[in-house]
Structure 1
Amino acid sequence: MGVGGFGERESVGRGEGEPVGFGAVAGVWPGRVAVVEGDGGEVTYGELAGRVHRLTRALARLGVRPGECVAAMLPNSRAFFELRLATGQAGLYFTPFSHHFTPPEVEHVLVDSGARVVVVDVGLVEVAGPALDAAGVPVERRVVWGGGAPGWVAYEELLAAEPATPPAEPRAGGVMLYTSGTTGRPKAVRRRLPAAPPGPSPYELDFMARCGVGPGPFTQLCAAPLYHAAPGLFANMALQLGHTVVLAERPRTEDWLHLVDQHAVDFLFTVPTVLHRLLRLPAEVRARYDTSSLRAVVHGAAPCPPDVKRRAIDWFGPVLYEFYAATEGGVTAVDSADWLARPGTVGLPLAEVAVRVLDEDGRPLPPGETGAVFFRPVIPFEYHQDVEKTRRAMCDGYFTAGDHGYLDADGWLFLRDRRTDLIVSGGVNVYPAEVEAVLLAHPEVADAAVVGVPDEEWGQRVGAVVRPEAGADAADGLVERLVAHCRGALAGFKVPRVIELRAEVPRSEAGKVLRREIRITGA
């Protein structure tokens, strides 16, 4: 592991001989704090284990059988962990989904997943209720968390009716998440449930270790939406490794630093957009907070501009870890030292993961040549009830998320961009992420996104939308300064031909640019 890795910054004895697996941790350290909620409330491992056992029995009493699905529409809360752990020891699928969904989106997930029980936050019953009606979910299987609501089963009453004894025959469950891609309705990534007892797999433990995260009485900040794949995985693994999880819901930029300082956070998962915003805070604001406790700042979900990453390493130290993954599976990871030695890489493949770069005819490309990135998932999956989508995404057992990149001679993976985002101008490929990285390096740019604009002569030309930093004078030649900045760092055909200044750049909650929502009117 590179400089500043997990083992090099821990205290003597921390992590050595620590139990692994939620049940084991709760048995050995029942008094250790498991979760700190947003309002400051705490629950210990022993208390959480008792509630998980009660919930497991309650789901069985409601008639949910192994292999069936429990869905949840929740903000970041303790209920997420209780549901994930309970389904994870009852042989069930757990499907958390965005609490920003509209009723039609909720209905689609519930019908497609066949959810037998649905748990909804009390503040969302008005949105969810009509969707549950349309999906035909019976009232006795509609559970409300965080209070009471007419026509709903109260979560706490459900638990109170059951004993806190563990199930006689625990069985591993799984998570079935919905991923939308660029077109069509969301599809669920479904894996066969393992015939094994609950607990983290060797693959998951290797993934965490490659991201600098290991077992012990550490603290992990969970501030990204838990219904997304990566935040949910890191949060769940925190409890499998004995960490104390500090929950936050949509913290402001400075709040991230306050939480790290207040709770002496060891590990956190975030996205490049957050890193960029943290670096844009005034130096005197950043200096107010002690971040020296951080052992691993893990980022993924979207490309990280090299300038942002270098400055983050300079600030936090060599504790940044990056991974490349999709809802369909993890692929690579890299620590700070290896990234600094090979700037731009997203790492080497995880254990048991194989990566290929293929041309348009499905033939392997030699090192250094850009093509479609395919990887062989450790755990095979299918898109639920969509055989054709599964077939289109696979090639000889290898899957692609649509990303393009290349492998170097030593097997390190470098990403360029998604194939669907590629701009072809005059027959030449332009990768938006490269242009965005240059724009984001400009001190007057808070956020940026690059898209292709139709052009009769060239097919497409490069266009950009930019959110200026507060205080930037848009009327004082900002666009002209940005064009000049790009010309100093990019080949002429990559320089944006049109730049529009916007109040916001559309991004998903996972930090991905929503290019399909961008319309450049000045083209």
Structure 2
Amino acid sequence: MPILRQWAERHPEKIAARVAFSKDILTYGELDRRANGVTQILVWMGLTVGDGVAIMLDNDLTYFELLWGARRHGVYYTPVSTHLQSDEAAYIVRDSGAKIFFVAARFADTVRALKANNTNRCAIFVIGGSDDGSFDYAAELSRFDRMIEIGDGPVGKDFFYSSGTTGKPKGIKQPLFSSVRQAQASGDWVRSNFNFAQDTVYLSPAPLYHGAPLRFTMRTLESGGTAVIMTKFAAEPALAAIARYRVTHSQWVPTMFFRLLALPAEIRARYDLSSHRCAIHAAAPCPPVLKEQMIEWWGPIVWEYYAGSERNGATCISTAEWLAHRGSVGRACVGTIHILDEAQNELGPGQIGDVYFDGPQFVYHNDPEKTARSRNALGWSTIGDVGYVDEEGYLYLTDRRSHMIISGGVNIYPAEIEHRLALHPQVADVAVFGIPNPEYGEEVKAVVQLKNPSQASPALAQDLIAFCRAELSHVKCPRSIDFEPELPRQENGKLFKHVLKQRYLQPA
């Protein structure tokens, strides 16, 4: 029996999901019934196991009925970022091979772009009404209000696309779960490390089209808990949501931590956070000083994990472990870590190399060459990160291979420099990357966002360089620093470093 049906039968009136500070709620009974209707729509439209759908919605409870309906029918589901341009979003829908595109009415430009080149003959279901000949989702769903029994079989899975920092976005695809039991087992590491259970109230302040927010809300529902989603992150409302809904679990990225810590002390003290027992962060490197400040405020409830959308492996680390292994992202909880040099030799503790896992397999959709480059001869896979393990097996990430700067033959990892500059009291955010240098090949460049942008000056740039040199080798430190009012980051905390770097690669 599908896990959602089990929870719906046990407590049909329990709130499965809600939108914070609104009247929008979805009980387990309602979610089960509506997901059943979605599955019937998929059958009616002729989708079979292994087909796909795409979803472009704001943080809306409709997301959950679409995901559960797709899972029950053994169908892949591809979330599409609501911040993409219409042609970019339409490309993902086409490239994924989606047979149905579920889209909010406000993204009419994307619908038009898809219809202009609908090579997949993809059906379009509009949430919020349609007058352009597309299917009206609400009207069609109402036709399938009668519950039907759905037999056991393969379980659908997410099919995410990368951010597209170089070239077109790439789809990351894994085999479907063969059964409900296997689907449940894939989340065991979440339940065992973070104690997701029936009493979990999980706050998701980030967009559901990102991997971690979507997957952790689904883990919450698999566990019989309640997911609370915010329509948009803001620091004080996030604290208010924890207090109001008695949130037990939450997930964050470092930029959210920064904004929370920027709140005045009297506002931070205003909210009762006593229900909060597990604050998880991931997605982007967290400067150690920032994490220490969060631990000082929230106590030993801060957990970190490291994993990619590829899901080829994962690590996690508790507060107590992190304080003993400062800067680590933890030990493996999915797969086994291997650190390899460029000749594919396995390295020992403390030696920096490419991070590989011997965990679950994946492919880059329509890109066999990139898939092959992610593997070694033993079938271990990498997502491009560089790091080392200590004697106890704790992983430390130094940077991504693609971010590495080679200056005069010396390998330089920007993350180390970014962490140092982030300690400066005037720095709010920083990006470090390589730019061309006629003598050394590349030189180190830093772009800094200040807490007070009006303080930007050549003198402050020199002060920051000196601040960096006080702790790091001079060869690692920036030769020059520029200032920007705000750095280009996604809501999940990932920095669009290529956007900044491209400015310095253009001809003068």
Alignment TM class, shorter chain as reference: over 0.9
Equivalent residue runs for 1:459-498 within 5 Å? 459-470=441-452, 473-475=455-457, 477-498=459-480
Asked if 1:346 corresponds to 2:316, the answer is no
The whole-number CA distance in structure 2 between the counterparts of 1:485 and 1:333 is 32
List gaps (5 residues or longer) in structure 2.
Answer: none
Separation of aligned partners in 2, 1:478 and 1:144: 52
Change (3 A) 1:282 1:494: farther
Query: What letter matches 1:184 in structure 2?
Result: G
2:270 alignment partner in structure 1: 288
Closer, same or farther: CA 476–285 of 1 in aligned 2, 3 Å: farther
**Residues 433 and 338 (structure 1 numbering): CA distance in 2 closer, same or farther, change over 3 Å?**
same
**2:374 corresponds to 1:387:** no
**Aligned 8 A contact 1:292 1:316 in 2:** no
**Residue in 2 that maps onto 1:80:** 63
Percent identical pairs in the alignment equals 37
Q: Alignment partner for residue 30 of structure 2, among 40, 47, 57?
A: 47
Pair 1:167–1:109, CA change in 2 (3 A)? farther
Aligned equivalents of 2:23 and 2:455: distance in 1? 41
Question: 1:162/1:412 Cα in 2 relative to 1: closer, same or farther (>3 Å)?
Answer: same
| SS of the residue 1:298 aligns to | strand
TM-superposed deviation, 1:60: 0.8
Contact 1:444 1:472 in 2 (8 A): no
Q: Deviations over 1:196-218 (max 9, x none)?
A: 137743231213432x2411222
Displacement of 1:224 after TM fit? 1.2
Partner of 2:293: 311
Give secondary structure in 1 for the equivalent of 2:455: coil
- Which residue pairs with 2:231 in the alignment? 249
Q: How does 1:234-245 map to 2 (within 5 A)?
A: 234-245=216-227
1:517 aligns with 2:499: yes
The one-letter code of the counterpart of 2:262 is R
1:12 corresponding residue in structure 2: none
Deviation per residue, 1:144-189 (Å, 9 max, x gap): 1133433221111111101341433143111111124542222222
CA drift of 1:424 comes to: 2.1
C-alpha distance in 2 between matches for 1:40 and 1:440? 40
Q: Is 1:455 the equivalent of 2:437? A: yes
How far did 1:478 drift?
Answer: 2.8
For residues 480 and 232 of structure 2, what CA distance do their matches in structure 1 show?
33
Describe how 1:296-375 pairs up with structure 2 within 5 A: 296-329=278-311, 330-351=313-334, 353-375=335-357
| Cα offsets for 1:207-257 (capped at 9, x unmatched) | 3432x2411222111121211211111011111112211111222232222
CA shift, 1:88, in A, is: 0.6
For 1:261 and 1:99, the matched residues in 2 are separated by 29
Summarize deviations over 1:309-338 as a string: whole Å, max 9, x none: 111111111111111111111421111111
CA–CA separation in structure 2 for the residues paired with 1:491 and 1:280: 31
Q: 1:497 and 1:208, CA in 2 relative to 1: closer, same or farther beyond 3 A?
A: farther
Which position in structure 2 is the counterpart of 1:187?
Answer: 170
Q: Per-residue displacement from partner, 1:244-301 (whole Å, max 9, x unpaired)?
A: 1111122223222222222221111111111122122222222222222211111111
Structure 1, residues 4-30: CA drift from partner, whole Å, max 9, x if none? Answer: xxxxxxxxxxxxxxx993332222111
Residue 382 of structure 2 is matched in structure 1 by 400
Secondary structure at the aligned position of 1:313 is classed as helix
Q: 1:458 to 1:350 in 2, by over 3 A?
A: same
Change (3 A) 1:200 1:472: farther
- 1:201 equivalent to 2:188? Answer no
Query: C-alpha displacement at 1:476, in angstroms?
Result: 9.0
The separation in 2 between residues aligned to 1:336 and 1:180, in whole angstroms, is: 30
Q: What amino acid sits opposite 1:347 in the alignment?
A: G
Letter in 1 for 2:367: D
Q: Cα–Cα, structure 1 residues 20 and 156, in superposed 2: closer, same or farther, change >3 Å?
A: closer
How many residues get paired?
A: 501
Matched residue type, 1:494: K
CA distance in 1, matches of 2:316, 2:191: 10
CA–CA distance in structure 1, aligned partners of residues 445 and 138 of structure 2: 52
Residues 341-376 of structure 1 show CA distances to partners (whole Å, capped at 9, x for unaligned) of 11111111114x011110101111111100000112
1:177 and 2:177 correspond: no
Q: Which residue of 1 aligns with 2:423?
A: 441
Asked whether 1:28 is paired with 2:44, we answer: no
1:200/1:240 contact within 8 Å kept: no
| CA gap 1:506/1:335 in 2 versus in 1, 3 angstroms | same
Change beyond 3 A, Cα 1:66–1:322:
same
Q: Aligned partners of 1:344 and 1:337: how far apart in 2? A: 12
Q: Distance in 2 between matches of 1:198 and 1:143?
A: 31
Distance of 1:183 and 1:521 partners within structure 2: 16
CA deviations on 1:430-469 (whole Å, 9 max, x unpaired) are: 2111111122222211111111122223322221111111
Contact 1:122 1:149 in 2 (8 A): no
1:39-92 CA distance string (max 9 Å, x none): 331111111111111111122112111211111111111111111111111111
Q: Give the TM-score normalised by the residue count of structure 1.
A: 0.91
Displacement of 1:303 in angstroms is 0.8
Aligned partner (choices 77, 84, 108) of residue 101 of structure 1:
84
Contact 1:170/1:198 (8 A) holds in 2: no
Could you say what the CA RMSD is over the residues aligned between the two structures, in angstroms?
2.2
Partner of 1:226: 208
- Would you say the 8 A contact 1:21–1:199 is kept in 2? no
TM-score (norm 2): 0.93
Contact kept, 8 Å, 1:277 with 1:446, in 2: the verdict is: no
Q: Note the 1:400-419 alignment, pairs <5 A.
A: 400-419=382-401
Structure 1 unaligned residues grouped into runs of 5+: 1-18
